[in-house]
Amino acid sequence: MMEKYEFKSESKRLLDLMINSIYTNKDIFLRELISNASDALDKLYYRSLTDKEVKVDKEDLEINLEFDEKDRTITITDNGCGMTKEELESNLGTIAKSGSLSFKENMSQEDKVNIIGQFGVGFYSAFMVADKITVTSKSIDSDKAYVWESEGVDGYTITEGKKKKNGTEIVLYIKEDTEEENYSKYLQEYELKSLVKKYSDYINFPIKMEVTHHELVDEEKHEYEDHKHEETLNSMVPLWKKKKEDVSDEDYNNFYMDKFSDYDNPLKVITSSVEGMCSYKALLFIPSHAPYDYYSQEYKKGLSLYSNGVLIMEKCEELLPDYFSFVKGVVDTEDISLNISRELLQESHSLKLIAKNIEGKIRKELEDMLKNDRENYESFFKTFGVQLKYGVYNNYGADKDKLKDLVMFYSSKHEKLITLKEYVEKMKEGQDKIYYASGSSIEKVNSLPQVEKVKDKEFDILYLTDYVDEFAITAIQKYEEKSFQNVESGDLDLDTEEERKETEKVNKDNEDLLKDMVSVLSEVEEVKFTNKLKSHPVCLTSQGDVSIEMQKVFDAMPNDMGIKAKLVLEINSKHPISKKLKELYKEDRESFDKYAKILYSEARMIAGLPIDNPTEISTLICDVISK
Ligand code: ADP
């Protein structure tokens, strides 16, 4: 019986793109198929350790490669776990398994490739070189074998097959050559051998192929005969077990891209080999960009855990703290036994020790990068810095001391990212506070009224533009004995004695005016004249622990806890508006009230807070300007 299926429409579009070869590198199809075969062998072996019914001799597990130049076929066979009919359908019937995929009209080919790359289209990359594929598979959980067959976008069929032994056999019918592409090269022994060597050398199972040897049969007559021998093409030494000197950057990059389905080289490779209290080898990578699902619930952190070369867990989350959740990699140790249960693993002392070491190693590498490779570090920080800042304030700041020298903020003076250490080192003489200002972008912070004056006095200001920033800073509390000062809140104490006295006097002389303004505005805690503004008429600041930026974060939370900043409206005492207010207060109370409301709305707008009564304010403004 033959069943015919269509690909889901999204998969169809993806497949279309694949076939029309938007990947420039077609070579990767082989490593994708070999990698799947290797996973299937891993799965079978692991199953045999935990399930008495399944008996496997590790020595027997292998991947076979065959090619036939005449028939134009390549066959990849493994004796792994195989797939049931349902698995064939669900694994090979949808391409984009996770998330929804939508290409925008004006997206470049390159962007599309990048998106596709992130969905791990592994198996389907074979359609770049083949116009027909058959997959014959027998699962260890089924008595029957099934054949999945497809010629691309039109869909696929599934029929019963004859395979007796468990495992999967994939036949690729290689495309005819075109003017641009030479597909026939994939039907050459030399090409296949070098592709395996290049991309799949570290694979843990032998990849075998019949290879032709020229054998000298008669030395005198120089006579040769061709003999076929089965040869194992890969060295089977996992990359992390090789000496660092023996591995090229390209090897690391290829391994990373294959294993972690990335289309880009990693930003940094970290290797670690530890003997002692615990022994392990680790090969870690910092990606050069965030995975597409990094900031979603679906993203799972973790490192692949191997017990002496055998994969025991794909993503062991205990090996990474949340603030390093972006790190990918493998850890191989003899200290954890192969058939350890999930529960025991979590409690394992060795695992905890390894995790602690790895955390330290990653941190040290990042510190070194910051010191010696600034450009790369900044690029890293732009991608994953938010995660580090979360780390600073999570767990009530328990990890802040480990991370505080790794976080960076934009500096108004240097116009780039700097560390807290760099800020403190370059502080002005007599400066005892670290100034900062918050807002949603550098431009917005830059145009805050209060910022202008502080910059004018040549103090450096850190611009906090991520919403975690202010929480991180609150958690750090003090850096090298210097506390943090939000230039938007409180008294900055930047004035000379004379200026201070002058401001004090204006406020005292106009006590009644200010009090009445508070009662007109009701939402503010205080209204005062200030000397801290240069050209702007007003600004909004806050008293106490909750700043305006923090209030915005709280406001945006789904369960509004009603945490509000205590607002202070500050009026520039040197601005003509101050004089105007004083006049109106004496002569025209009605207009005074209107002015107060308009100025308060202006201050809210500049601070990025919503105006609750826009119609009323708009009417007021019209009243005033049409006078
Ligand atoms: P990925 O490997 O990234 O999950 P693929 O499209 O390459 O995506 O493969 C889809 C799924 O099909 C795999 O996750 C696996 O479950 C299954 N699969 C592919 N090849 C094999 C194989 N040789 N043996 C068993 N299962 C396989």
- pLDDT recorded at residue 98: 42
Instruction: Check pLDDT > 90 for residue 186.
Output: yes
Return the ∠ at Cα 300 (arms to 266 and 111), rounded to 5°.
45
Residue nearest to atom 23 of ligand 1 (CA): 37
Q: 163: CA distance to ligand 1 center in Å?
A: 19
Q: How many C-beta atoms surround the C-beta of residue 348 within 10 A?
A: 17
Q: 35: CA distance to ligand 1 center in Å?
A: 9
Average pLDDT value for residue range 335-364 = 87
pLDDT digits (tens, 9 = 90+) for 501-537: 999 999 999 999 999 999 999 899 999 999 888 888 9
- pLDDT recorded at residue 215: 83
Mean pLDDT of the chain: 88
pLDDT digits (tens, 9 = 90+) for 248-282: 999 999 889 878 888 889 999 999 999 988 899 99
Distance CA 190, CA 510 (A): 91
Q: How far is CA 574 from the centre of its chain?
A: 49
Which contacts (CB < 8 Å, 24+ apart) does range 185-192 have? 186/30, 186/67, 186/74, 186/129, 187/67, 187/68, 187/69, 187/72, 187/74, 188/69, 189/67, 192/30, 192/65, 192/67, 192/74
Ligand 1 pocket, residue 269 CB under 6 Å: no
- Buried-state track 173-195, b at ≥16 Cβ within 10 A, e below 16: ebbeeeeeeebebbbeeebbbeb
Contact by Cβ (8 Å): 172, 74: yes
Q: How many C-beta atoms surround the C-beta of residue 12 within 10 A?
A: 16
Ligand 1 pocket, residue 366 CB under 6 Å: no
Ligand 1 pocket, residue 168 CB under 6 Å: yes
Contact by Cβ (8 Å): 532, 507: no
Distance CA 365, CA 30 (A): 34
Type of residue at 484: F
DSSP string of 5-74, one letter each residue: E---HHHHHHHHHHHTT--S-TTHHHHHHHHHHHHHHHHHHHHHHH-TT----GGG--EEEEEETTTTEE
Q: 88: CA distance to ligand 1 center in Å?
A: 9
Ligand 1 pocket, residue 78 CB under 6 Å: yes
Distance CA 355, CA 513 (A): 63
Quote the percentage of the chain above a pLDDT of 70.
93
Least confident of 95-104, 133-142, 196-205, 311-320: 95-104
Nearest to 585 by CA among 484, 516, 509, 495: 516
Q: In what order do the strands lie in the sheet with 328-333?
A: 268-274, 280-286, 328-333, 303-307, 310-316
Average pLDDT value for residue range 190-196 = 93
Of 7, 11, 30, 36, which is best to mutate to test ligand 1, by the most ligand atoms within 8 angstroms of its C-beta? 36
Ligand 1 pocket, residue 40 CB under 6 Å: yes
Q: 105: CA distance to ligand 1 center in Å?
A: 30
Instruction: Check pLDDT > 90 for residue 200.
Output: no
Nearest to 366 by CA among 44, 374, 25, 431: 374
Residue nearest to atom 12 of ligand 1 (CA): 91
pLDDT band of residue 388 (cuts 50, 70, 90) is very high
Tell me which residue has tokens 């002005």. 428
Distance CA 305, CA 620 (A): 67
- pLDDT recorded at residue 535: 85
Helical segments of 457-606, H only: 469-476, 497-509, 511-521, 548-556, 576-587, 589-606
Distance CA 29, CA 34 (A): 9
Q: 79: CA distance to ligand 1 center in Å?
A: 14
Ligand 1 pocket, residue 122 CB under 6 Å: yes
Tokens representing residue 481 in the block: 């004995």
Residue nearest to atom 21 of ligand 1 (CA): 36
DSSP 404: T
Least confident of 42-56, 88-102, 500-514, 543-557: 88-102
Distance CA 342, CA 303 (A): 15
DSSP 186: G
Q: Would you mind telling me the total number of residues written for the chain in this entry? A: 627
Distance CA 33, CA 125 (A): 9
- pLDDT recorded at residue 355: 96
pLDDT digits (tens, 9 = 90+) for 9-58: 667 776 776 666 455 678 878 988 998 999 999 999 989 988 889 999 99
Least confident of 179-188, 292-301, 563-572: 292-301
Distance CA 292, CA 333 (A): 30
- pLDDT recorded at residue 571: 95
DSSP 182: -
Of 84, 123, 139, which is best to mutate to test ligand 1, by the most ligand atoms within 8 angstroms of its C-beta? 123
Domains and CATH numbers, the chain: 3-213+224-232 (3.30.565.10), 239-376 (3.30.230.80), 407-486 (3.40.50.11260), 497-626 (1.20.120.790)
Q: 33: CA distance to ligand 1 center in Å?
A: 8
Distance CA 458, CA 494 (A): 11
